[in-house]
Amino acid sequence: MSRRYQILYKQNLENEFGRLEPGVHRILYDKPEVNRAVALMTEFPYLAGIAVLVNGELFNITVCPPNDVRPWTFEFPASPA
């Protein structure tokens, strides 16, 4: 079963959060720790969010409603094209 997510990102703890768009910001979020967090949230549907800190970069990953198709949300696992 797939779910929709969004990732908020801080480059360091003093900065404001920004939204990451799938594909556009892939270089920022394509990290094993972030991928594992999303996989865990998919495996355990009672998890609504996880914060991941990687080398001073903070990723706040949260579940979105299934019908939320705004540009910064993504489906995992991705639907076949």
Instruction: Report the pLDDT value the prediction gives residue 2, as an integer from 0 to 100.
Output: 79
Let me know the angle formed at the C-alpha of 1 by 50 and 18, rounded to the nearest 5 degrees: 35
Please state, in angstroms and rounded to a whole number, the distance separating the CA atoms of residues 20 and 61: 10
Per-residue pLDDT of 8-17, as tens digits, reads: 999 987 889 9
Mean pLDDT, the chain, rounded, equals: 90
What pTM was estimated for this model as a whole?
A: 0.86
**Residue 4 pLDDT more than 80?**
yes
Instruction: Report the pLDDT value the prediction gives residue 40, as an integer from 0 to 100.
Output: 94
Residues 18-34 have a mean pLDDT of 92
